[in-house]
Amino acid sequence: MEHGSSAIFLEVVLLLGGGIVAGTLFKRIGLGTVLGYLAAGIVMGPVLRLIGDGEEILSIGELGVVFLLFIIGLELRIDRLWALRRQIFGIGLAQVMVSGVVLAAVAYFLVGLAIAPALVVGFGLALSSTAFGMQLLDEAGETNTRHGQAAFSILLFQDLAVVPLLAILPFLSPGGEGTTIDPLQVAISLGAVAALVLAGRYLLNPLFRLMASAGAREVMLGAALFVVLGSAMLMQAAGFSMAMGAFIAGIFLADSSYRHELEANIEPFRGLLLGLFFIGVGLSIDLAVLQQFWPIILLAAPLMMAVKAGLIYGLCRLFGETHGLSLRVATLLSQAGEFGFVLFSAAAAERIFSAETSSILVAIVSLSMVLTPLSTWLGRLLDRPDEAEEMEESFDGAGSEVLLVGFSRFGQIVAQVLLSSGIDVTILDSSVDRIRTAERFGFRIYFGSGVRKDVLEAAGIRKAGLVAVCTNKRETTDRVVDMIRSEFPNVRLFVRSYDRAHALSLRARGVDYEIRETVESALSFGGATISALGVEEELASRIVSDVRNRDNARLKLQEAEGIYAGNDMVTTHAVTPEPLVKPRPGLHAVEKMPDGDDTGTIIDDDAPKRRRRGRLFAGRRRHPDRVASR
């Protein structure tokens, strides 16, 4: 008993240790964690024989795919899933049928298999790996991109196709001519789907409301695991894939107020079990079969991937997708999938082909999985997008007190100030790369262009009390401001301006507030510089304040008289301080205003113009050698 327990714990430690080392190493060298887990499985299993039962670990690891589909379902509302119907039942259906027929023809004419085994081989290899495809998309932050959604749609239909493929095997087996469809099994399958749909619609939300009222985090965690595994087992009993059941449960919880907590609870299990699945693939590779049939396997796997990628690319283009999207989807889904293991094992059990053929096919599937990260990298390398990449966006949860357009360097600091003050912000940006980067730090950024009225409305501009336009380019900023001023004239506009001329242009457009992007940082930098050179901090602050006020006064003058007005307010040469001279009344009045209010002007209108270029400040200069580094 103790020996058995020790062996199990040893396997757990080896799996965790091997996954940690290989995943970290491969991630650091840029090959991704998936290849690392595969390598760990191959080393610990077929090479060193530290762990023997790869099939059992693979079956446990398949729960990672189940949890992955549940999380994907949480992020897809029913209306959004309906919007993908063309890709699911269009490209997805075409991919399974065309790829299955073509690969079956190759197996029949070139390999010489009979028609029944050729059909099983062709349609088994036509199915791609949900685990590999979605994990690689997730690692790259591309799940919500257009090619990510297209790939997901194809994978979703492939999950649906597993059911009829498994059901047709008895008809293809020797002596299967007398096989009939069992009406009871069909009724059970349809009843299970109906039961899951009804439970998802009417029971799940009340269940989680009841669990949440208990106030125990472990209860919510247990409820989440119960829903995922229960729905998966129900679908498996009905003849569907477990992942499909979890996906349906996730969809019906997508609108739940507990969605984010459920996702946070399930995410760690998803990551660990998916890693275990990839390690299990490596463990299950049969080196004896590889050694005996290595020429066939090494030739068949890349050839199958090339044929399949070409077919997927052509079908995507046929359905009107762009070259870049078609290329990325084709290279991502060119491998055979985990359902191939199930299909080929079941076919061998039905004596459609021999166990040896099944082992060769499993090795081809495994090798194609190993090559998937490389084919995906090749797709990125070959993709030269002609237009900016776009993401699918639902604007779920959008609508806050402040709508912030543009999340570059400037917008990120503005968002920090707003969020730190407890103000909720809806952030809109049109850069896919910037959104992916921000999501890694926990930000929720909505994809969309601020120059489109429908996007602004979807982002909740009618609810916003203020719109902060923080876009980079002057032209983009002007278009956003013009759109908002035209369509939403009552919204307050705070805008980042590019330079002085742009600031004047924005004021002419009637914005409520504008600031040039470098003014305050330059003033702060200048103040720190003179402080480091020995000027007392109080005096340095007064000098910076004087420059700021004179600049604002000049900007107001230019607003009224034109860009060339107020040149006499610019300091163009060094001003010689007079340390013992008492400050003039104009400056003294500013310094003595109550409560530290320095909103008054320090420009002395009676002073001669030659003195308005710079203010002489009373104060002492510290010895530069005594200034500490700031």
pLDDT for residue 616 is more than 70 = no
Per-residue confidence band for 35, with pLDDT thresholds at 50, 70 and 90:
confident
- 420 token code pair: 């730190």
| pLDDT tens digits, 463-473 | 888 999 999 88
Q: Look at residue 595 in the predicted model and tell me its pLDDT.
A: 43
Q: Look at residue 608 in the predicted model and tell me its pLDDT.
A: 41
Q: Look at residue 622 in the predicted model and tell me its pLDDT.
A: 52
Per-residue confidence band for 126, with pLDDT thresholds at 50, 70 and 90:
very high
What value does the mean pLDDT of the chain take?
Answer: 80
Number of other CB atoms surrounding residue 426 within 10 Å = 23
Domain with residues 402-516, CATH architecture: 3-Layer(aba) Sandwich (3.40)
Residues 78-111 as b/e (b if ≥16 CB within 10 A, e otherwise) read eebbeebeebbebbbbbbbebbbebbbebbbeee
**For range 115-133, the mean pLDDT:** 90
The better pLDDT of the pair 571, 613 is held by 571
How far is CA 189 from its chain centroid?
A: 35
Question: How much of the chain is in helix, strand and coil states, percent to nearest 5?
Answer: 70, 5, 25
- Say how many residues make up the chain: 630
Per-residue confidence band for 584, with pLDDT thresholds at 50, 70 and 90:
very low
DSSP 3-state of 181: coil
Number of other CB atoms surrounding residue 521 within 10 Å = 11
Three-state DSSP string of 574-621: CCCCCCCCCCCHHHHHHHCCHHHCCCCCCCCCCCCHHHCCCCCCCCCE
pLDDT for residue 424 is more than 60 = yes
Residues 133-166 as b/e (b if ≥16 CB within 10 A, e otherwise) read bbbbbbeebbbbbbbbbbbbbbbbbbbbbbbebb
For 319-354, where are the alpha helices, taking DSSP H only?
323-332, 338-349
> What residues contact residue 44 under an 8 Å CB cut-off, 6+ apart?
14, 15, 18, 50, 51, 279, 282, 283
Q: Look at residue 257 in the predicted model and tell me its pLDDT.
A: 66
DSSP 3-state of 427: strand
Domain with residues 53-281, CATH architecture: Up-down Bundle (1.20)
- Residue 320's region, left for phi above 0, alpha for psi from -120 to 50, else beta, is left
pLDDT for residue 598 is more than 50 = no
Q: Look at residue 589 in the predicted model and tell me its pLDDT.
A: 38
**For range 534-541, the mean pLDDT:** 89
pLDDT for residue 315 is more than 90 = yes
Per-residue confidence band for 588, with pLDDT thresholds at 50, 70 and 90:
very low
Percent of the chain with pLDDT over 90: 18
| pLDDT tens digits, 164-179 | 887 788 888 886 655 5
Q: Is the pTM of this model over 0.85?
A: no
Rounded CA-CA distance 141/135 in Å is 10
